[in-house]
Amino acid sequence: MPKNLSFYMQIIVLLALYAFLYLPILYIVYASVQVDAIWPFPPDFTGEHFVSIWRNSDYIAGFKNSLIIGVGTGIISSLLATMAAIGILKYRVRGSKFIAGLFLSPLFIAHILIGISSLMFNKTLLGLPGNIFSAIIANATYATAFAFLVVIAQLARYDWRLDEAAMVFGATPGQTFREITLPLVWPAIFGAFIVSFLLAFNNLEISFYNLGATPTLPTLAWGSLRNGISQELYALAALINAAVFAFLGSLYVLLRLGVIRLSFKD
């Protein structure tokens, strides 16, 4: 095959891949500003659906609850994943592979099973009712596995001799972590927080079984599907996608400017 033809074929495949990934998102954004989302042609633009979301107290409450669950899960998961990754990579004790396997085991369990088992455990053994706190704990059980993968992939390249050198010169373990380890590994911790936050923010099954009647954005969206896809759902999906892309765009700009670096090297 000629080189030019091979190049054009690669371009076509790449464009087809991007179209497959992003055209549904673009359609959701387009439908969110149309009067009729069932057949939004010819275009008839409106912003009423976004106003309806703002006026709907259920969506506002669901967003706040989803935000609390996401932030709480992100903090717990990133902390647990960081401690586990440091313990496994730095000290390399016997059975570290087995411990790593335990942290990764929730990856192979269905969300609905984690949700139901967390509900029964919290209610029967801990006496915790279905509330936001129990939902955070349940989501952290699942999200910690992903956070652990993010952190351990970054810390595998970390030179632990830096910590040893600091302690040789009189630094305590706490000082070593605050002044040497943390400034170098914080991008990995931040990445673990973001992954955990997104998993918990968008989760339906785990949160649903541990919240009862407390609304979140996924449970509100799932509940509204019984009456068909409403215009507000398109607007809600458009807002969430816009927030995600705005965050990724800001992160890219900060990386290009050198404000944030994802490397351990200066």
Domains: count for the chain: 1
Backbone angles phi, psi at 40, to 5 degrees: -80, 40
> What amino acid occupies position 141?
T
What CATH number is attached to the domain comprising 96?
A: 1.10.3720.10
Domain assignment of residue 201, yes or no: yes
Q: What is the pLDDT of residue 152?
A: 94
Buried b (16+ CB within 10 A) or exposed e, 84-99: bbbebbeeeeeeeeee
Domain assignment of residue 17, yes or no: no
Q: What is the pLDDT of residue 137?
A: 92
Domain assignment of residue 29, yes or no: no
Domain assignment of residue 14, yes or no: no
Cα(180)–Cα(162) distance, integer angstroms:
7
pLDDT-derived band at 16, boundaries 50, 70, 90: very high
pLDDT-derived band at 3, boundaries 50, 70, 90: low
Domain assignment of residue 257, yes or no: no
Tokens 């799932």 map to which residue? 222
What pLDDT, in 10s, does the model give residues 61-113?
Answer: 999 999 999 999 999 999 999 999 999 998 877 888 888 998 999 999 999 99
Domain assignment of residue 6, yes or no: no
Domain assignment of residue 79, yes or no: yes
What pLDDT, in 10s, does the model give residues 229-260?
Answer: 788 889 999 999 898 888 888 888 877 877 66
pLDDT-derived band at 265, boundaries 50, 70, 90: low
Average pLDDT over residues 38-67: 90
What pLDDT, in 10s, does the model give residues 196-237?
Answer: 999 999 999 899 999 877 899 999 888 887 777 788 889 999
**118 touches 210 (CB < 8 A):** yes
Cα(45)–Cα(40) distance, integer angstroms:
9
Q: What is the pLDDT of residue 223?
A: 84
In which domain, by residue range, is 62 found?
58-233
Domain assignment of residue 46, yes or no: no
Burial of 180 (0-12, 13-18, 19+ CB in 10 A): middle
